[in-house]
Amino acid sequence: MHETSASHAAHQHTAPTSFIRKHVFSLDHKVIGKQYYGLALLAVFIGMGLSWLMRLHLGWPAWPIPLLDKLSAVGAPSGVMTPEYYLSLMTMHGTIMVFFVLTNAPFAAFGNYFLPIQIGAEDMAFPRFNMMSFWTTFMAFLVMMAAFFVTDGPPISGWTAYAPLSAVGGDAGPGLKVGQTLWAISIAIFCIGSLLGALNFIATTLDLRTKGMSLARMPYCSWAWFVTSVIALLAFAVLLPACILLILDRTAGTSFFIPAGLVLSDKLQPHSGGSPLLWQHLFWFFGHPEVYIAILPSIGIVCHILPVFARKPLLGPRATVGCMIAIGFLSYMVWGHHMFVSGMNPFSATLFSVPTLFITVPATILTLLLLGSVYGAKMRFTSASLFCLGFISVFISGGISGFFLAQPSIDIYLHATYFVVAHFHFVMAVASLFGVFAGTYFWFPKMTGRMMNEALGKLHFWLTFIGVYAIFMPMHYLGLAGNVRRYSAFVDDYLIPLIPVHKFITIAALLTGAAQFIFLFNLIWSRFKGPIASENPWEATSLEWSTATPPPFDNFGGKHMVVYNGPNEYGVESRDGKDFIMQTSPEKAPAS
Amino acid sequence: MGKLFAVAVIVITLISVSFFVMHTWWMPVDISTTGPAIDHQLEETMTGSGLLFLAGQLVLGLFVWQASNKNPARKIKMFPGGASPLVAAAIILVGIEILTLTFVGTKAWGAVNLAPAAADSLHIDVQAEQFAFYFRYAGPDGQFGGLHPDKIDDGSGNYFGLDPANDVAARDDVVVGSLVIPVNRPILLSLHSKDVGHSFYVPELRIQQDFVPGIEIPVHFTATQTGKFEIVCTQLCGLGHYNMKAYLQVMSEPDYEQWLKSQEGQ
Amino acid sequence: MRMKFFAALGFTVAMGSALMVFATPPPAGSGSITGKVTYTGTPMKMKPIDMSKEPSCAKQHATPITTENVATGQGNTLEWVVVYISAGDEGTTTPSQGVRYDQKGCQYLPHVLTMLAGQQLQIYNDDQTSHNIHPLAKVNQEWNKSQPPGSPPIDTKWDKPEFIAVKCNIHPWMHGYFAVLKTSHVSVTGEDGTFDIKGLAPGKYTVTAWQEQYGTKTQDVTVGAGAATANFVFTATPY
C-alpha cells in the first residue's frame, strides 16, 4: 500500500532540466524547502534590523539614527523616529518574525526538505500544491514589504492588529490606511499558503510512508511536523476568515469588529453593531496555536538531533510524541489567557487558566525527558548539539515565566508589561530559533554537500546564548517593575528610572544581532568553500542519512527504502562495530 | 566545551536569580485592599517556579558537565528507572502545583473581578480616548447625564458627549483630567472608550482592565494610602499610546470634599 | 535656559509673522472696514484644561489655560472671530513669505491662523514633547503627522480655501483653526472684539465674520475713502 502510493508520487514528475523549473518554479520539495529557508533568512535579518532600530530608539530616544531619514523622511524627520514610526517598526518586526520566520523556518523549510526523506517518500503528496504554497507565501511577503512604502506609512496596530484600531481606517491615526489594509491582505494570503502546506504535510505523512515506516518508527521531528500541520490546518482556517472580515470592515463599510458610537478624529464613525472582542477571540484562537506552530517543530528537531550527539537514545520516545500531541490538543483550549483583562466575562478567566496551566505538564515532561537524555551521555560538542543544549536552557527559562502569566490574578499586574515580552521571546522566538540553528548546523551538509565551519559555529553559539540572556532576562525585571510594552518612549515618572536597563538591553541586542552575521557568513562561505560532506557525517540513524549527500532528485536514486528499525537506536553495539543502527539496516536492534 | 557550557549555564542562572532574590527591580508599594492577595500569589509563584528554574538549569549544567567526560572507556548510562518515573513525577508535582495555584489564585482574582462593588461605592465615570483619560463625577445632584457620542467635542472640552442643553442631569457633572479619590472608600469606575481599545493600569493598585469600545466595564477598588500615582494605558491605542496617562490622587476625605467643591464651582 | 530662549524667540517670531500677514500691503486703496464682534445671550463657560499628563507643558502655565472655542472679553466681545472680504475683492496675489504656526506649552499659537490658499505654512514644535498635527481638512487633503521635539518644522500649504480644524492626537485638548482664504483682506478679532480690514479700494464688499462655534454672518458694506463700519452680533447659548 505504502509502496504503491510512493511510486505513484514519483511518477508525477520527472527531473526538470530548465533553470526556471529547477530552481524557481520547482516542484521538488527539497528546492521548495530551501526556498522557504532563504525567505526566512531574508525575513529574519529584516526583522532583526527593525529590532535594532527600535532598541536604539528606546535606549536613546533623542539621538538621530544615521540614514534613517533616508529610509523614511516622514517616519524619521532628521533621523529621530516619530512615535507612529516606532509602532510601525514594532508591528512589522512582530509580523515578519512570527509569520515569515518562526512559521517558515522550522516548519515549512526543514519540514519540506526532510519530511518526505525521513519517511522514505520521493516527494510530497501534492508537489504542485507545494510549489503554490511557497509562491503564495512569497507573495504575502511582497505585499507585507509593500506596506513599508505607502505614503501613509506601515501599519501601527501591532502583530495582533486589535480592532477597532486596525479596523476603522485613517481616522485612528497615521499608518492605518493603506498600510494596515496591506497587512490584512498579506496575512490572508499567508493563511492560504499555510493551509495548502499543512494539507500537504498531513497527506504526505499519512499516505507516503515507505515500507516498514510505521508511525511508531517515524523520527520525532517528522512527528512534530505532522502534529504542527494539524494545528496549522485548524488555526489558519480561522485566521483567514478573520482577516477577510477585517478587510471588509476596512474597505466595504461592514461592522464586524466596530461598535456604534465611536468618535475618531472628531468624526462619528459610520459603523454599528460590531464587537472588538470578536476579533480578539478569532485572532487568539489562531494566535495561541500559532505559538505551538512555532515551537513544536523545534522541539521535534531537538529531540531528533540531541540523541545523535549524546550517542544514546532519546528517553521516553512514546511519551515525547504523546506530549507533542497533548500540547497540540490543549493549544486550542487556552486562547482566552491572552484576554484575562480584555473585558470578557471574568468567570471565563478561570476556565482558560486551568488548561493553560495544564499545558505545563506535557511541557515539563518534555523538558525532563530531554534532561534525562543528556544524563549519562557521551556528548559530542558540535555547534548543532550546543544549540540543542541551549534550547533546553532557554525553553526552561521561557516556560517558567508561563506559570506567572497563566494565572489571571498575577496577569492583572503583569499583563502587557515587558514580562510578557521576555516570556514569549524566550519560549517562542529564541527557543524556536535555537532549534532552527541546531537544524541548520546539523542538516547543512545534507542540503548542500558541504560541512559548515565548526569554529565559527561555536563562536556563534556562545555569543548568541549569552546574548539572549542579556537581552531577555532583564525584561523580566522591567515587567515586575510595571514597565508597559509597546511604548515608543518612557515618559512616565515611574518608568524613567528604568531607562538604564533599557540601555543595557539595547547594547546587548546590538551585539547579539551582530553575532548573527557570523552565522550568515558561515552559511555563505561553507556553501562554496566548506569541506565536502560524507553521506552520514554525524553517524545518525534516520533515512536522510541513508542516501547520497545531497540527495538526488527523487531522494533515493530510484531505490525503495525499507525500514526495519525506529530512529532511536543509539548507544547499541551493532554488528559492524558501530554504536548505532540505521533505520534502513535489516539488523534487528537488541531489545533494550 | 561541555564544562564551559555547564559553567555558563550555572553562572547565568545565578546572576538571573540574584536580581529576583534581591528585589533590585520589583513591584511598587501596594496601595489597595485587593493587592496583597495578588502580591502573595506572585511571591508564592516566584518561589515555586524560581526553585524549578534553579533546579532545571543546575541539573542541565550538571548533566552536561558529566556528559563531557572524554574517557574513552566510559559507557553511556540510561536514566535510572527510565521515562515513567519522570512522567509520573511531572504529572503529580506540576499537577499539585497547578491545582494549588488555581485554587488560591482564584480567590485573588475573584476579589478584584468577581466580587460586586460595595453598595456605598463612590461612582466615577471614565472616558478613554486617544490619548488621554477623562473622569466624571456626578456633581451635587448625584446623577450622571446621559452620553451622546454625537455631542463629543474635544475643542469645547465635551470629552464625554454630554448634552446639557436638553439633559438637566448633565449640567452639574464635573469632568476633570485627573482621578481624585478619597482614601479608604470603595471606588467604582465605569470604563468606556470613545474610540479604540485602551487600558486602565495603576501598578500600585494592582489593577489593570481594558476599555472596550461599545461596552461599559466596571472596576472597583479601595485605596489605602494617600498620594499621587500614575494611571497609564497598556493597550496599544495608536501613535500616542506611550504618552497616554493621567494622575491618580488619593486624598483624605476632607481634602477630597474640598477639592470636589472647588471643581463644582467651576 | 536655552530652551526658554528659543521658546521666547519662537514666540516673538510667531507673533511677528502673524502681524506681518495682517499687515500685508494690500494691492490698492486706503479705505478700511472696522467694527466689533459681540454676542447676546449667555455663552458657554470656557473650561480649564488639565495638562497634568504633560508636565513639561503644564509648568509653562501659571494658571491653567482654558478652552478657546468661545473666547469672550469684557463688554460681551468675541475673540478669535475671522472677519474677511468674501465677495467684491479682486486680484489678491499670494505673498512670498509664509506664515508660522507654533505648538508651545501644548497650545496652538495663534488659536486661529489665517493664510492665503497656496501660501507657505511652517509648523514648529517648541515643546519638549512630541506633538501630532492633524488638520481635519474636508475640502483639502487631510493629513496627520507627528513631530518629535527638536525636529525640523513641517513645511506645507493648503490649495483651496477652507476653515480647517486642527487637533493634536497626542494632546486631545489642543485645538485650533487654519482659516485658509482667497483674500488677504482679513482681520481676526482680539479680546476686545475689534477688527480692522485695511487697504480697501472704494467699492461694495461683502464682509463675512466666522466664529468656530457659531458659524458665519455676512453683511454688505460700501467703502469710501475712509473707514467704513460693520458690527457683527452672534447669539450665544449657554450649552
Q: Which residue of C has its CA nearest to A176?
A: C144
Asked whether residue C20 carries a pLDDT value surpassing 70, the answer given is: no
What confidence score (pLDDT) does residue A591 get?
59
What confidence score (pLDDT) does residue C28 get?
61
Asked whether residue A90 carries a pLDDT value surpassing 70, the answer given is: yes
pLDDT, average across residues C18-41: 71
**C169 interaction partners in chain A (CB closer than 8 Å):** 173, 265
A211 and A295 part of one domain:
no
- Residue A274 CA to residue A235 CA, distance in Å, equals 23
pLDDT, average across residues A64-81: 87
**End of a domain among A195, A227, A259?**
A259
CB pairs under 8 A between A and C: 45
Q: ipTM score of the complex?
A: 0.96
Sign of CA dihedral A523, A527, A528, A531: positive
A405 and A305 part of one domain:
yes
CA dist list (Å): A272 to A248, A256, A268, B215, B242: 14, 9, 11, 13, 29
CA distance B212 to chain C (A): 19
A296 and A158 part of one domain:
no
pLDDT, average across residues A424-445: 97
In a domain, A486, yes or no: yes
Which tens digits make up the pLDDT trace of A413-424? 999 999 999 999
In a domain, A483, yes or no: yes
Residue ranges making up the domain that contains C216:
2-236
A294 and A400 part of one domain:
yes
- Residue B48 CA to residue B250 CA, distance in Å, equals 35
A250 and A372 part of one domain:
no
Q: Which residue of A has its CA nearest to B228?
A: A493
Which tens digits make up the pLDDT trace of B108-154? 999 999 999 999 999 999 999 999 999 999 999 999 999 999 999 98
Count of CB atoms within 10 A of residue B266's CB?
A: 10
The number of distinct structural domains making up chain A is 2
In a domain, A558, yes or no: no
CA distance A353 to chain B (A): 8
Q: Which of residues 158-177 of A touch C (CB under 8 A)?
A: 170, 173-174
pLDDT, average across residues A433-460: 97
Q: Which of residues 7-46 of A touch B (CB under 8 A)?
A: none
What confidence score (pLDDT) does residue C227 get?
87
* Contact call for A82 and C130, based on CB within 8 A: yes
In a domain, A222, yes or no: yes
A207 and A343 part of one domain:
no
In a domain, A582, yes or no: no
**A409 interaction partners in chain B (CB closer than 8 Å):** 37-38, 41, 105-106, 108-109, 112
Binning pLDDT at 50, 70 and 90, where does residue B266 land?
low
A184 and A286 part of one domain:
no
Concatenated DSSP letters of B190-227: EEEESSS-EEEEEGGGTEEEEE-TTS-EEEEEEB-S-E
**A354 interaction partners in chain B (CB closer than 8 Å):** 98, 102
In a domain, A571, yes or no: no
What confidence score (pLDDT) does residue A8 get?
46
Q: Which of residues 317-356 of A touch B (CB under 8 A)?
A: 319, 341-343, 346-347, 349-350, 353-354
Residue ranges making up the domain that contains A174:
1-12+29-46+64-259
The CATH number given to whatever domain includes residue C200 is 2.60.40.420
H or E element at residue A135: helix A127-146
> Which residue did the predictor score with more confidence, C198 or A147?
A147
Which has the minimum average pLDDT: A101-105, A298-302, A317-321, A573-577? A573-577
Binning pLDDT at 50, 70 and 90, where does residue C178 land?
very high
A3 and A107 part of one domain:
yes
In DSSP terms, C206 is beta-bridged to: C87, C220
Q: Which residue of A has its CA nearest to C53?
A: A492
* Contact call for C147 and A266, based on CB within 8 A: no
C-beta separation of A102 from A429 below 8 A: yes
A241 and A279 part of one domain:
no
Q: Write the burial class of residue C5 (CB in 10 Å: 0-12 exposed, 13-18 middle, 19+ buried).
A: exposed
| Residue among A166, A410, A476 with most chain B CBs within 10 A, to mutate | A410
In a domain, A442, yes or no: yes
User: Is the Cβ of C46 closer than 8 Å to some Cβ of chain A?
Assistant: no
What confidence score (pLDDT) does residue A12 get?
52
A253 and A360 part of one domain:
no
A247 and A296 part of one domain:
no
Asked whether residue A425 carries a pLDDT value surpassing 80, the answer given is: yes
What confidence score (pLDDT) does residue C91 get?
60
User: Is the Cβ of B262 closer than 8 Å to some Cβ of chain C?
Assistant: no
Which tens digits make up the pLDDT trace of A457-513? 999 999 999 999 999 999 999 999 999 999 999 999 999 999 999 999 999 999 999
Q: Which residue of B has its CA nearest to C146?
A: B239
Asked whether residue A13 carries a pLDDT value surpassing 50, the answer given is: yes
A282 and A365 part of one domain:
yes
The CATH number given to whatever domain includes residue A117 is 1.20.210.10
- Residue B216 CA to residue B194 CA, distance in Å, equals 11
Give φ, ψ of B91 to 5 degrees: -65, -45
Which of helix, strand or coil describes residue C78?
strand
The number of distinct structural domains making up chain C is 1
**C237 interaction partners in chain B (CB closer than 8 Å):** 165
- Residue A398 CA to residue A33 CA, distance in Å, equals 28
